[in-house]
């Protein structure tokens, strides 16, 4: 597989401003770390996304679909292949009555504003979750007792064979931070949600309250990928980490947040290697002290 050959093929299907070479992934992830991707494609529509996937598959070129990079850690050596970033352009939404349509690349914060303007309630929990709608559907994102599965009606996906299918909520096999999207390597294109009419003051009040809680309890002033670990059954990851004596623990400029131990943050000059080493250290200590296996919520890709 020649990256140059793949690049030339992509240029025939995607406009020049939609393709980047040797793109530093530190510019595209909330951790602000990561080496270069050989190629980054910013598809403007579904057709360009499908064309990019076809070219990658036909030429056995590795690829990775990303949203806004808020749950992604790219190793320092970068990514050998094509990164396809949907958040750049595939971000349309439409609201008709109580029905909401959104493309995979729209930011949850942006969609939340549109939904609040339409005086629909039920999406407030997602207003402060970083990332895109597609990523939220794939992992059944949630907060403050709400989850995507509670409001989703259907999702349209691309299969590993390149087929476009529509899945009803019942077929998506939602669980805690998981779905059939991840299990079967499906790619979310867009989805439909069902909300209900509410009062704008009440909706904005809940959004403001959730925002206040996040600002007071989470290290939003530092680069991170949000909660680093999934919630282990019967426990809270942050409490286990704090009880293990790891609050403020550092490797290089990667640190277990002193504000919320469930977050690993970049103090400024952390490398991806620092962050990965700290994740592994935290897992080892918690396993030794409490016999609990912490599972990372952040996705790690790329070369060391």
Strands 79-85 and 63-66: parallel
| Catalytic-residue membership of 127 | no
Among 120, 130, 159, 155, CA closest to 297: 130
Q: Compute, in degrees rounded to 10, the torsion defined by CA atoms 266, 269, 273, 279.
A: -20
> Which one of 177, 206, 214, 250 is the catalytic residue?
177
CA dist., res. 210 & res. 214, Å (int): 6
CB atoms within 10 A of CB 44: 14
CB atoms within 10 A of CB 18: 20
| Catalytic-residue membership of 124 | no
**Length of the chain, in residues:** 304
Among 148, 140, 138, 93, CA closest to 115: 93
> Which one of 112, 127, 179, 227 is the catalytic residue?
227
For residue 160, what are the contacts with CB-CB under 8 A and spacing of at least 6? Answer: 184, 185, 186
| Catalytic-residue membership of 297 | yes
Structure-block tokens of residue 91 = 């971000």
CA dist., res. 105 & res. 103, Å (int): 6
How far are the Cα atoms of 69, 212, 286 from residue 73, in angstroms, in the given order? 8, 27, 22
Which residues are annotated as catalytic? 177, 227, 297
């Amino acid at each position: 597989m020649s990256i140059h050959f793949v690049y030339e093929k992509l240029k025939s299907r995607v406009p020049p401003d939609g393709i980047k070479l040797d793109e530093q992934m530190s510019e595209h992830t909330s951790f602000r770390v990561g080496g270069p991707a050989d190629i980054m494609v910013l598809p403007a529509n579904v057709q360009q996304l499908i064309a990019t996937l076809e070219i990658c598959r036909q030429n056995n070129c590795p690829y990775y679909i990303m949203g806004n990079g808020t749950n992604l850690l790219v190793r320092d050596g970068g990514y050998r292949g094509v990164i396809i970033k949907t958040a750049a352009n595939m971000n349309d939404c439409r609201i008709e009555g109580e029905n909401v349509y959104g493309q995979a690349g729209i930011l949850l914060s942006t969609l939340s504003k549109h939904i609040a303007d339409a005086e629909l309630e039920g999406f407030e929990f997602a207003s402060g979750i970083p990332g895109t709608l597609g990523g939220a559907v794939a992992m059944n994102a949630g907060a403050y007792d709400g989850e995507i599965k509670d409001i989703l009606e259907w999702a349209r996906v691309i299969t590993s064979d390149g087929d476009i299918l529509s899945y009803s909520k019942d077929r998506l096999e939602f669980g805690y931070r998981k779905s059939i999207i991840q299990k079967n390597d499906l790619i979310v294109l867009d989805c439909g949600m069902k909300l209900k009419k509410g009062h704008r003051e009440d909706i904005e009040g809940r959004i403001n309250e959730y925002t206040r809680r996040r600002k007071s309890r989470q290290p939003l002033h530092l680069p991170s990928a949000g909660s680093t670990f999934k919630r282990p059954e019967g426990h809270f990851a942050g409490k286990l980490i704090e009880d293990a004596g790891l609050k403020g623990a550092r490797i290089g400029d990667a640190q277990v947040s002193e504000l919320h131990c469930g977050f690993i943050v970049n103090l400024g000059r952390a490398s991806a290697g620092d962050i990965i080493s700290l994740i592994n250290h935290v897992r080892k200590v918690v396993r030794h002290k409490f016999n609990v296996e912490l599972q990372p919520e952040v996705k790690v890709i790329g070369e060391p």
